[in-house]
Amino acid sequence: MSTERKIDATADDVKGKVKEGVGKATDDDNMTAEGKGDQAKGKVKQAVEDVKDAFKRD
For residue 2, pLDDT over 80 is answered with no
Average pLDDT over residues 2-27: 94
Q: What percent of the chain has pLDDT over 70?
A: 95
pLDDT tier at 43, thresholds 50, 70, 90: very high
Average pLDDT over residues 15-21: 97
Q: Which of 14, 4, 7, 9 is nearest to 41 (CA)?
A: 9
User: What is d(CA 19, CA 32) in angstroms, rounded to the nearest whole number?
Assistant: 6
Average pLDDT, the chain: 91
